Amino acid sequence: MATLRVLFETGEPEQVIEFDPADAPFQDDGQPGSILDVLLGHQVVLEHACGGHCACTTCHVIVKAGEEYLSESEESEEDMLDRAPGLTPSSRLGCQAVIEAGQITVLIPRYTINQQV
């Protein structure tokens, strides 16, 4: 089992999702078992203008704890993250960060750049 604790910079109440990573994918957006996939599959909205294909930064999240339980970031993700507002050393794209197990805490930033809206 895995636990994803979601904090919102907008002040919304935090949410805790418990799930089995073996049940992935939960939705059709992002890598199967990614933060985006898990959130959408549990009715938590995370903007994702490109459909989870690592082509924008709207699903940018900040990993507060449990980074060791996520897949390694690839060069394409790191290149895209350079464009994210509010970038931190623990920033990840929700569509690419696959949850392997354990307890992860992420902060969803207040601002994203969505060229689609």
Q: What is the tens place of the pLDDT at every residue in 62-115?
A: 999 999 999 999 999 999 999 998 899 999 999 999 999 899 999 999 876 554
Selected from 1.10.3430.10, 3.40.50.1970, 3.10.20.30, 2.130.10.10, the CATH number assigned to the domain covering 6-108 reads: 3.10.20.30
Q: What is the tens place of the pLDDT at every residue in 3-37?
A: 999 999 988 999 999 999 999 999 999 999 999 99
With a cut of 50, say whether residue 47 has pLDDT above it.
yes
**75 backbone dihedrals φ, ψ, rounded to 5°:** -60, -40
